[in-house]
Chain A
Amino acid sequence: MTATVIHIPGHGPAPVLGPSPDRVESLAAYLARGGYRSELRPEELLARIEAADLRGHGGAGFPTAVKLRAVRDGEGAPVVVANGEEGEPGSVKDRWLLRARPHLVLDGLVRAARITGADRAFVYLSDEGAERRVRQALAERDPGLPVEVVRTEPAYVAGEESAVVRRIDGGPALPTAKPPRVFEHGVGGAPTLVANVETLARLALLTGGSDGADTALLTLSGGRSAPVLTEQRYGVTLRQLAVLQGTAEPSAVLMGGLFGGLLPPSALDLPLDRARLAQAGTGLGCGAIRFLAPDECPVSVAADAVDHLTAESSRQCGVCVSGTRALRDTLVALAEGRCDADGQANLARWAQGLPGRGACGLLDAAARLAGSLVAGFADLVEAHRRTPCPACAATPPDAGRRLRVPVPLPMTTATVLRAAVPPPPCTAARVG
């Protein structure tokens, strides 16, 4: 697969990518950029996080200030965790961030510890390159509290907050039923902040300036062009992002990793805006967006994505084992032109009834993929029931292999394009 390109927007801020995302940022470079330095009191920083409406960048988009307060006010000595386990096959930003800017993440982690009053911290990850950088960074500078690096095996659910806690506590990286939530009962029973590494990076940036929460790291992929890691301001439209990635006329958009379902081309004018995306029944999730090539069939992608989720189910919940399998089999039947009216009705029914029934969100993701396909591509689904689709036949489900995006390696293979992907003239001013 083609290497991922890092794109620095020509206009507008990219505080998390920073000026040289193709290189590993040393301690000296981070200090020179004002890192680790602010005298801001924890209370002031918390107020700033709230004012900026910083949200989690791992998937759920929960307000960070609310989480910080809940952990701070819980019973017992809090624990903070930087979560860098990126289970979404279409996302690379967390692994890039840990490899390229470990100090920015650690800065945020230590500040989160101060806000919550935690005296113990963890960095949780599965990527070997990321682990090396984080250990190096910890050796370069004493973080001022014990920080333990915990490496897990990569898996779709390994980064889910209860799986993170279970693994740190010495168990398998598998989700547990909620409640309790980890902010009340986490590592060793203590109130625990499990925060995505990008969220922590933004928390650190908010100490210095105000634009830490105005942008999002995005992994854009699809079509025949190279995947792109970029940072964009909220408000940019999906169409602009499609052009930037090089798939100007996608047949569909796979949103939020595998979490936001599929959107039809008519949704391309949606802006990157949490409220607007939620209204449209989708979400930014971890910031991974895949634009399907014009000749790629949304049915085959839905079948493939659900096939991946079925394979990644941790098989702890009966309803998830049966539910993902039923969704997958029905979508495959649809792709092969042998789905009847009952199967089609089942897809819509499961899309309604299955979300919320598993111990984690994997089943919800599978249900949303099916539901968004049936609702947003009704004619296409009808057509698939009558005649087998040649595009689907050419791309049978392969456990989501085509959805995987390679991580750009700072300092070695990444190609930095300084706004060198030219958008069409009419949108040029607005991209970035």
Chain B
Amino acid sequence: MKLRIDSTRCQGYGECLPPAPGVIDLDEWGYARLLVVDLTDDQEAAARAAVDACPNNALRLER
């Protein structure tokens, strides 16, 4: 699975960070920065939780 971000949708709420600390980081302005794109099996659940946590649908999982 790949994790994708639509930068035009990311508003910097930071809701995605707590569920996926090793997968996502916030930059100095608060916007999400992907630490990994190609997810390992271990990271998938965290990434899915981040996708669900984002109030603006900025994150997406892709086959």
Taking beta carbons and an 8 Å cutoff, which residues of A are in contact with B?
176-177, 179, 316-320, 322-323, 326, 353, 357-359
Contact = CB atoms under 8 A, between A and B. Distances in A.
Given A177-B8, A319-B7, A359-B8, 5 more contacts: A318-B12, A318-B31, A322-B29, A326-B29, A353-B27
B10 A317 contact: yes
Nearest to A322: B29
Interface of B: 4-12, 27, 29-31, 33, 62
8 contacts: A179-B62, A318-B7, A319-B10, A319-B27, A319-B33, A320-B7, A323-B29, A353-B33
Nearest to B5: A177
A158 to B, nearest CB: 16
A56 B23 CA distance: 35
B4 A358 contact: no
B16 to A, nearest CB: 14
Contacts of A318: 7, 10-12, 29-31
A319 B8 CA distance: 9
A317 B33 contact: no
Contacts of A179: 4, 62
Contacts of A358: 7
Contacts of B6: 177, 359
Nearest to A358: B7
B31 A322 contact: yes
A173 to B, nearest CB: 14
A177 B12 CA distance: 17
Q: Sort A-B residue pairs by CB-CB distance and give the 6 closest, nearest first.
A: A317-B7, A177-B6, A322-B29, A316-B8, A319-B31, A318-B31
Nearest to B58: A177
Contacts of B30: 318
For B6, B8, B11, B27, the residue with the greatest tally of chain A CB atoms inside 10 Å of its CB is: B8
For B10, B11, B31, B33, the residue with the greatest tally of chain A CB atoms inside 10 Å of its CB is: B31
B62 A319 contact: no
A353 B8 CA distance: 18
A303 to B, nearest CB: 21
A318 B11 CA distance: 7
Nearest to B33: A357
For B7, B12, B27, B30, the residue with the greatest tally of chain A CB atoms inside 10 Å of its CB is: B7
B8 A176 contact: yes
A357 B7 contact: yes
B31 A359 contact: no
Nearest to B30: A318
A357 B8 CA distance: 10
Contacts of A326: 29
Contacts of A353: 27, 33
Contacts of B4: 177, 179
